[in-house]
Amino acid sequence: MDNKPYISVLVPVLNEQETLPELQERLHKTLEGIQKPYEIIYINDGSIDSTQDILEGFHTQSKSVKVIEFNKNYGQHMALFAGFEFSKGDIVITIDADLQNPPEEIPKLVQKMEEGYEVVGTVRKGRKDSLFRKIPSFIVNKITARLVGVKLKDYGCMLRAYKRNIVDYMNMCPESSSFIPALANTFAKRIAEVDVAHEERTKGTSKYGLFKLFRLNFDLMTNFSLLPIQFIGMLGIVIALVGLLFAVFLFIRRLIVGPEVEGTFTLFAILFCFVGIQIFALGIIGEYIGRIFQEVRRRPRFIIKKELL
């Protein structure tokens, strides 16, 4: 393993002490079967269980295993960005640590990459997640495909492969938040998808709750398009026109019918509707301003506490 790795496998980890031994065993067996130099980079994203001790044990047992430890939790995508910076392989593969995406599917991605593709995504067949996960994932896929302009079936599966040049391009992007599958597709020319198996999580707990899925959608919208803020501008024009027409209607009605008290609650309902739209619009604008504020501060995206390379 002293040679430059041909394959780099990046594994972001957060409190996965129960799955790590099986994951490492299956990864090692699968990568050995490919018979190419490889490295496995675990990125400990602020775990508070015994994850770090287990990872350091892997590093002691095999020099093909490298470990990066964050000082706190920065999120899955920041963990992958750190892995990209340290990876050396011609093919860089990302995979979750929860074993829902079987490591045995990695050769499929390598084979597809060797056909000349720059990015290879995956489609989870027979997906074992609940509707609570499937519906938001469906929405994210549709939004991402529209914003990026690349119609893939499954942007949510972390089992993906990237060519070295695409990883280098992503390393040049200093933004503090991003959605890696979408970012990679903005740089790639040849993109493909392969079907992979999907297994039910049997150990540990999911790290993606409703709030994180909500934040992911905002990352997509605000990092890859001005469409939301442009939509708000158009909506403001439409509301202004509707309000003007409604005012004219009420004026003419008053001339014909005379003063009346009926319709007061209707006016309140319309007013509350407009106020709600205004608050929503301010929220979207605030999201953009907040992200600008984060970028101009130039704070580090993550801080590495320990490296075992």
- Tell me how crowded residue 188 is: count the other CB atoms within 10 A of its CB: 19
* Cα angle value 155/159/164 (rounded, 5°): 95
Q: What is the pLDDT of residues 7-22, one digit of tens each?
A: 999 999 999 999 999 9
| Predicted TM-score (pTM) of this structure | 0.76
Q: What is the rounded distance in angstroms from the CA atom of residue 122 to the CA atom of residue 156?
A: 9
Each residue's pLDDT tens digit, 268-286: 667 777 777 777 777 778 7
Two tokens, residue 88: 């050396």
3-state secondary structure the chain: CCCCCCEEEEEEECCCCCCHHHHHHHHHHHHHHHCCCEEEEEEECCCCCCHHHHHHHHHHHCCCEEEEEECCCCCHHHHHHHHHHHCCCCEEEECCCCCCCCHHHHHHHHHHHCCCCCEEEEEEECCCCCHHHHHHHHHHHHHHHHHHCCCCCCCCCCCEEEEHHHHHHHHCCCCCCCCHHHHHHHHCCCEEEEEEECCCCCCCCCCCCHHHHHHHHHHHHHHHCCHHHHHHHHHHHHHHHHHHHHHHHHHHHHHHHCCCCCCHHHHHHHHHHHHHHHHHHHHHHHHHHHHHHHHHHCCCCCCEEEEEC
Per-residue pLDDT of the chain (309 residues; tens, 9 = 90+): 457 999 999 999 999 999 999 999 999 999 999 999 999 999 999 999 999 999 999 999 999 999 999 999 998 889 999 999 999 999 999 999 999 999 999 999 999 999 999 999 998 887 766 666 667 667 766 766 666 666 777 777 889 999 999 999 999 988 777 788 888 988 999 999 999 998 877 776 666 555 566 666 666 666 666 666 767 777 777 777 777 777 777 778 777 776 665 666 567 667 777 777 777 777 778 777 877 777 777 778 889 999 998
pLDDT at site 155 = 76
CA dist., res. 238 & res. 48, Å (int): 51
Query: Is domain 7-209+304-308 in CATH 3.90.550.10, yes or no?
Result: yes
